Amino acid sequence: MVHPPAYGERPKGDMLRRPPSPLKMTKCELFLTEAELISLLARDPDLWKRAIERGKWEKRARATEKRGLEHVGDILPHLLTQLQKWRDNG
């Protein structure tokens, strides 16, 4: 797991040179650099952990959607058919 830098630790290298990323809010749009965002997240390690977990779920959901399987229910009829064929031939 990626751990946040200690509070007050200066960001290194690339983080200082990357352009700010947009963060859309309800009534405004913020532009934070990676270093600024890391600095904010370092103050709350639980938030850092939740954000990483949420990111993993989002990546998995996108990969599943890309494969065309938006939900397990979408493939369930196919799996049941295959199981029945296997039982009939077994």
CA–CA separation, 51 and 89 (whole Å): 48
Whole-number CA gyration radius for the chain: 21
Along the chain (90 residues), what's the average pLDDT of each consecutive run of 10 residues? 56 65 91 88 91 92 74 75 83
Among 36, 10, 11, which Cα is nearest to 23's? 36
Which H or E run contains 36?
helix 34-42
Give the pLDDT of residue 78: 80
